[in-house]
Amino acid sequence: MTDSAYPQLFSPLNVGQRQLANRLCLPATVTNFAEKNLITERWSNFLIERSRGGAAMVVSEIIAVDPEAVAQATTVIGFDDRNNDGFRATAEAIDAAGGALVAQLWHPGRQQLWHPTKAPAGVSDGPDPYSWTVAHVMQDGDIRKLVDDFVAVAKRLDSCGLAGIELHGAHGYLINQFLSPWSNLRSDDWGGDLIGRSRFVRMLAAGIRAACRADFIIGLKMPGSEAVDGGIDPDEAARITAHLAADGVIDYFAYGQGNFSLSLENHVPDMYFQPGHFLEIHKKMRVAAGGVPVMALGRIGSPEEAEQALVDKFGDLIGMSRAHISDAAFGIKARRGAAETIRPCVFDNSSWGEIHQGKPLAEFHNPMLGYAGEADWQPQPADAGKRVAVIGAGPAGLEAAWTAAARGHQVDLYSASKQLGGALRLEAALPGRGDMARIIDHQHQQAERFGVNVHLNHPITAGDLGRLAVDNIILATGAEARPPEHAADMDGPLISGRDYLRGPAREHIKRFKKAVLIDQDQTAATYGLADRLAADFDQLIILTSRPNFAQAVNYCSSIGVYRRLYGAQVELLPAVKPVMLQAGVLTLENVYGGPARTIDAVDAVIYVTPRRVMDGFEPAALAQIASQVLRIGDCRSPRNLMAAIHGGHHAAMAV
Ligand SMILES: Cc1cc2nc3c(=O)[nH]c(=O)nc-3n(C[C@H](O)[C@H](O)[C@H](O)COP(=O)(O)O)c2cc1C
Ligand code: SF4
C-alpha cells in the first residue's frame, strides 16, 4: 500500500513470477508511428513515456507474427531481426523506469480491417462481417506452423529483454475467431466444443511457456462479450476463462468487447457509454479466472474510477488506453496528488479515427504525443517576456493563452461572450456530448494556473486594438455559419445550427412539426444537433450531397450515430442538394443526375455548412499595432477541434 489517495491503484501486484509496481497499465494501442514495418524512435517513445508517466505495465500495439498477414507499413513485424535493437532499447528504457514492456502478438485471420493483408488465412470460410473477406481456411499443418511462428516471435522478444507478451484474442482477430462459436465452424480438433475451440490458444500459451524464461509474462486479451448472436457472451467467456486458467500457463487476462461487426462500437466505448461501462463483465471474469489477475478496461478515465474498480473487485489491473493517449503522465499526476492537472480524455474517439485512416496517432490536446520528454513536458520559458493579446476564447484561443502565459508572457484573453469555449461550449450542451466541456475546463484551469487575465463579455473591435498596447496579437475569433447554396430561393424558416442552439429562435421554431437538417459538415457535433432536433420535432429528415453520412466521424462512433438516428426514426437522404423552398415544399436535386424530388410540409430548415472566417480586422492596421500577428483555429481556416488546439499551441510556442 502507499500513502497516495489511490492506495489500491498504487499497490504492487504479482503477475506470473514478476511483481508489477502498481496496477496501472497501458493496454495495446496502435500508433502508426512505425515506418516500413520497423520500429522508430517515436514508436518507442510512446511506450517509454507512458512508463515514465507511471504505468507499471505497458502493452505494445499489435506485433505481426506472420509475413503473410501484415496489414500495412506501420505494423511492426516481430519476425524480423531488424527490429531486435528497437525492441531491446525500448525494453531497457522501460525497465529503467521501473516498468514492464509486454508485446501484443497479433494475427488478423479473416479480419481484414481497412487494409487487406497479402494472404488472408482464417479458421472457417464465413466472410469477415466488416470487409466481407473470405479467408483461406487453414488446414491442420497450417495451424501448427502458425503456432510455431507465434512461439518464435515470443522467443525473440524474450531474448530482447521484454517482460512478456499478450496474445491478441479479442476484437474478432484470429485467436478470437478460433474461440468463438460464431466464427469457428470447424468439426475437426480445432473446432466444435469449447475444448476444441480453445486448443489453438492453449497450444500457443504452452509453446511460449516452454520456449521462454520462467518469469516471461503470458497474457491473453479475449472477448468478455462479442455482442453478436451466437458469439461469445459473458457466460461463454467465463467458461473459456476458467478452462484456460486451469492450465496455470496464462499470467493475466484482459477483456475487449465487440468484434469487427456492428458490435465494434463496444471495443472503444465512446462518450455515449457510461464510465466503466463493461466493468460488470470483468467482475464475472475475475471470479472465473480463479486468482489469475484480470485487467479491467473500457472507458475508465480518472484515478477515482480506477481506484473504485479495484475496490469493487472488478479487476486486479486497470487498463487505460485513451486516458493514457491524452496524458502520458496520468499515473504520476495521480500518485502525486495532482489528479486535477491530468489532461482529460473525453472519449470522442478522434484518436482512434486517426489511426484507422492510416495516419499517425494524434490527439486533441496533447500536441507532444509520442515525443521524448512527453511525460514531464512543460512549455519552455520564452527568451523575453512579452505582452500578448489573445482575441477569442474558443479552444484555440484558450490553448494559445495558457501556453503563452506558461512560457512567461503577460497574456490578456478577450472573449466576446460571457462564457469561455466558443462553439465547443455549444457542442457540449448537445445530448450526450457534455464531456466535451472538460476540454474547456482543463484549458481554463491551466489559464488560471499560469495567470492569464481573462476578459469575458469583452468584444474587441478594430478601434479597440490600438489601445491594447501589446507586442503580439493572436487572433482566434472563430468562424460563422455560411448560408447554404440557393438560400436566396428558400422562402421559410432557414437557420444555422448554431443559431438554433444559441437563441430564442429555437423556442419559436421547435413548436413546428417537420424539420430538415442540411448536413454539409458530417462531424459528430452535427449528429449531436440532429439528436436534439429529433427530440424537438415530430419528424426530422437529414440531407447531404455526399453519398454517405458521418464521414467525419470515426468508424466506431459512427455506428452509434446511425443507431441513434435510425432509433429516433430520422430519415436520411444522401446525394441530394436543396434548391428551393416555397410554401413549405422543399425541392431537392440529385447530385449524380438522378430524378429531383420534393419534401412537403417542411416547417423549418436548419443548416450546418462549411464555415466562413470571422475576423474583421485589417491586416495593415494590425501590423502597425503589434510586431507579430498570428491567426489560429477557425479564423485562420475553419477546421476541426484538433487543428484548433494544436494551432493554439504552436502559436504560443512561436511568440
Ligand atoms: C488508438 C487506439 C488503438 C488501439 N489499438 C489496439 C491494439 O493494437 N490492440 C488491442 O487489443 N486493442 C487496441 N485498442 C483498444 C484498447 O486496447 C482498449 O481495449 C480500448 O481502447 C478500451 O480501453 P480505453 O477505454 O481505456 O481506451 C486501441 C484503442 C485505441 C483508442
Ligand atoms: S482524441 Fe478524444 S478519445 Fe482520443 S485520447 Fe483524446 S480525448 Fe480521448
Ligand closest to the CA atom of residue 299 = 1
Exposed e or buried b per residue across 241-268, where buried means at least 16 C-beta atoms within 10 angstroms of its C-beta: bbebbeeebbbbbbbbbbbbbebbbbbb
> Over the stretch 451-481, which tens digit does the pLDDT of each residue have?
999 999 999 987 888 888 899 999 999 999 9
In the chain, the amino acid numbered 506 is: R
Per-residue b or e along 485-495, where b marks 16 or more CB atoms closer than 10 Å to that residue's CB: eeeeebeebbb
Q: Position 158: which residue type?
A: D
Band of residue 491 on the pLDDT scale cut at 50, 70, 90: very high
- Determine the residue of 302, 350, 645 to mutate for testing ligand 2's pocket, defined as the one with the most ligand atoms within 8 A of the Cβ atom: 350
State which amino acid sits at residue 66.
D
- Tell me how far apart the alpha carbons of residues 617 and 399 are, in angstroms, rounded to a whole number: 22
Rounded to an integer, what distance in angstroms lies between the CA atom of residue 544 and that of residue 302?
Answer: 38
CB of 517 shorter than 6 A to ligand 1? no
Cα 101 to ligand 1 centroid, rounded to whole Å: 16
Please check the confidence at residue 279 and state whether its pLDDT lies above 60. Answer: yes
Q: How confident is the model at residue 66 (pLDDT cuts 50, 70, 90)?
A: very high
Asked if 271 and 435 touch (Cβ cutoff 8 Å), the reply is yes
Q: Does 536 share its domain with 392? A: no
For residue 327, how far is its CA from the centre of ligand 1 (angstroms)? 15
C-alpha cell at 186: 470447424
262: pLDDT strictly greater than 50: yes
> Which residue, by CA, sits nearest to atom 7 of ligand 2?
345
Give the end of a domain, one of 346, 376, 406.
376
Give the percent of the chain with pLDDT over 90: 90
Question: Which of residues 320, 344, 376 is at a domain's end?
Answer: 376
- Ligand that comes closest to the CA of residue 55: 1
Using a CB cutoff of 8 Å and minimum separation of 24, what contacts does 6-14 make?
6/303, 6/304, 6/306, 6/307, 6/334, 6/335, 7/307, 8/307, 8/310, 8/311, 9/303, 9/306, 9/307, 9/310, 9/318, 9/334, 10/334, 10/335, 13/56, 13/293, 13/316, 13/317, 14/293
Q: Does position 317 have pLDDT exceeding 80, yes or no?
A: yes
Residue to mutate, 30, 31, 325, 556, ligand 2, most ligand atoms under 8 Å from C-beta:
325
List the grid coordinates of 70: 501484415
Cα 579 to ligand 1 centroid, rounded to whole Å: 44
Say yes or no: CB of residue 352 within 6 Å of ligand 1.
yes
Q: How far apart are the first and last CA of the chain?
A: 45
Residue 2 domain-assigned (yes or no): no
Mean pLDDT, residues 1-22 taken together: 92
Same domain (yes/no): 468, 585: no
Domain match, 312 and 252 both: yes
* Ligand 1 in reach of 276 Cβ (< 6 A): no
Which amino acid is located at 296 in the chain? A
The 3 state secondary structure assigned to 241-281 is HHHHHCCCCCCEEEEECCCCCHHHHHCCCCCCCCCCCCHHH
Residue 231: Cβ within 10 Å count = 22
Helices marked H in 545-640 — which ranges? 555-567, 619-625
263 alpha carbon to ligand 1 midpoint, in Å? 15
Q: What percent of the chain shows pLDDT beyond 70?
A: 99
Same domain flag for 425 and 525:
no
CA distances from 629 to 39, 271, 392, 616 (A): 40, 37, 14, 14
Euclidean distance between CA atoms 420 and 392, whole angstroms: 9
Tens-digit pLDDT profile for residues 178-220: 999 999 999 999 999 999 999 999 999 999 999 999 999 999 9
- Give the CATH number for residue 518: 3.50.50.60
* Ligand 1, atom nearest to 322 Cα: 27
Q: How far is the CA of 641 from the centre of ligand 2 (A)?
A: 11
Is residue 601 within 8 Å of 584, Cβ to Cβ? Answer: yes
Q: Which residues lie across from 40 on neighbouring strands?
A: none
Amino acid at 243: H
Which residue, by CA, sits nearest to atom 1 of ligand 1? 352
Which residues is 640 bridged to in the sheet?
none
**pLDDT score of 114:** 63
Question: Domain boundary at 334, 351, 376, which?
Answer: 376
- Is residue 282 domain-shared with residue 394, that is, in the same domain? no
Is the distance from CB of 392 to CB of 477 less than 8 angstroms?
yes
How many angstroms separate the CA atoms of 76 and 316, rounded? 29
Ligand 1 binding pocket includes 394 (Cβ within 6 Å) = no
Residue 541 lies in a domain: yes
Residue 578 C-beta-side C-alpha neighbours within 13 Å: 33
**Contact 62 CB / ligand 1 (< 6 Å):** yes
Task: Give the model confidence (pLDDT) of 222-259 as tens digits.
Answer: 999 999 999 999 999 999 999 999 999 999 999 999 99
- Give the position, in ligand 1's atom list, of the atom nearest the Cα of 354: 1
Domain count along the chain: 3
Dist. CA 246 → ligand 1 center (Å): 27
Q: Which residues contact 553 (CB under 8 A, 6 or more apart)?
A: 353, 522, 523, 524, 527, 561
Whether ligand 1 lies within 6 angstroms of the CB of 61 is answered as yes
Predicted confidence (pLDDT) at residue 602 exceeds the cutoff of 90: yes
CATH number, domain with residue 322: 3.20.20.70
How remote is the CA of residue 420 from the centroid of ligand 1, in Å? 32
User: How many A from CA of 327 to the centre of ligand 2?
Assistant: 10
Q: At 418, which CATH number?
A: 3.40.50.720
Give SS3 for 138: coil
Residue 3 counted as domain residue: no
CB of 256 closer than 6 angstroms to any ligand 1 atom: yes
Are residues 232 and 183 part of one domain?
A: yes
Would the pLDDT of 596 be above 60? yes
| Nearest alpha-carbon partner for 177 in 104, 228, 231, 139 | 231
Q: What are the helix and strand counts (H, E) for the chain?
A: 21, 28
Averaged pLDDT score across all residues of the chain: 95
Helix (H) or strand (E) holding 43: helix 41-52
Ligand 1 centroid – CA 298 distance (Å): 9
- Identify any residues that bridge with 435 across adjacent strands, giving them in sequence order: none
Both 498 and 439 in one domain: the answer is: no
**Co-location of 497 and 632 in the same domain:** no
Q: By three-state DSSP, how is residue 399 classified? A: helix
Same domain (yes/no): 110, 165: yes
Q: Is 306 in the pocket of ligand 1 (CB under 6 A)?
A: no
Rounded Cα distance, 652 and 630, in Å: 9
C-alpha of residue 326 to centroid of ligand 2, in Å = 6
Domain-embedded: residue 360: yes
Count the neighbouring beta carbons within 10 Å of the beta carbon of residue 513.
11
Contact 221, 254 (CB under 8 A): yes
Judged by its nearest atom, the ligand closest to the C-alpha of residue 645 is: 2
The per-residue pLDDT for 232 is 98
pLDDT the model gives residue 115 = 67
Choose among 475, 470, 478: nearest CA to 391: 475
Q: What global pTM score does this model have?
A: 0.96
pLDDT of residue 589: 98
User: Does the beta carbon of 209 lie inside 6 Å of ligand 1?
Assistant: no
592 and 618 co-located in one domain = no
| C-alpha cell recorded at residue 450 | 499560469
Ligand 2 center from residue 559 Cα (angstroms) = 17
Residue reference for cell 511525460: 375
Task: Please report the pLDDT score of residue 512 as a whole number.
Answer: 78
Residues 555 and 647 in one domain: no
Of the listed ligands, the closest to the CA of 349 is: 2
- In the structure grid, which three cell numbers stand for residue 203, read together? 497450444
Residue 617 lies in a domain: yes
Neighbours of 56 (CB within 10 A): 24
Residues 247 and 116 in one domain: yes
Report CA(217)–ligand 2 centroid distance (Å).
Answer: 29
Residue 335 CB less than 6 A away from ligand 1 = no
Residue ranges around ligand 2 (CB below 6 Å): 322, 325-326, 345-351, 363-364
> Ligand 1 centre and the CA of 554: distance in Å?
14
273, 346, 354: which to mutate for ligand 2, most atoms within 8 A of CB?
Answer: 346
Quote the cell numbers at residue 471: 507586442
* Closest-lying ligand 2 atom to the alpha carbon of residue 270: 3
CA 245 – CA 241 distance, rounded (Å): 6
**Amino acid (1-letter code) at residue 290:** G
- In angstroms, rounded to a whole number, what is the distance separating the alpha carbons of residues 320 and 268? 11
- Report yes or no on 51 lying in a domain: yes
Atom of ligand 2 nearest to the CA of 326: 5
CA distance 258 to 379: 40
Residue 500 CA to ligand 1 center (angstroms) comes to 36
- At 216 the three-state DSSP class reads coil
pLDDT for 71 equals 81
Nearest ligand, measured from the Cα of 325: 2
Domain with 348, as residue range(s), is 13-376
Q: 156-159: which pairs have CB atoms within 8 A and are 24 or more residues apart?
A: 156/78, 156/79, 156/84, 156/87, 157/63, 157/78, 157/87, 157/103, 158/211, 158/212, 158/213, 158/216
Would 421 be classed as within a structural domain?
yes
Tallying the residues shown for the chain, one arrives at 655
Tell me the three cell numbers of residue 59.
502493452
Instruction: Cell numbers for 465, please give them.
Output: 486594438
Q: Is the CB of 29 under 6 A from ligand 1?
A: yes
pLDDT in tens, 542-560: 999 999 999 999 999 999 9
Judged by phi (left if over 0) then psi (alpha if -120 to 50, else beta), residue 11 lies in: beta
CA nearest neighbour of 341 among 375, 367, 311: 375
- Cβ–ligand 1 contact at 31 (below 6 Å): no
Q: Is 104 in the pocket of ligand 1 (CB under 6 A)?
A: yes
Beta 13-15 vs 136-137: how paired, if at all? unpaired
Which cell goes with 36?
A: 516500413
Q: Within a domain: residue 7? A: no
Distance 454 CA to ligand 2 centre (A): 27
Structure confidence by residue, pLDDT tens digits, 110-169: 988 766 777 889 999 999 988 888 999 999 999 999 999 999 999 999 999 999 999 999
Contact 76, 43 (CB under 8 A): yes
Alpha-carbon distance of 214 to 432, in angstroms, equals: 48
- 1 pLDDT higher than 90: no
Q: Looking at ligand 2, which atom is closest to the CA of residue 268?
A: 3
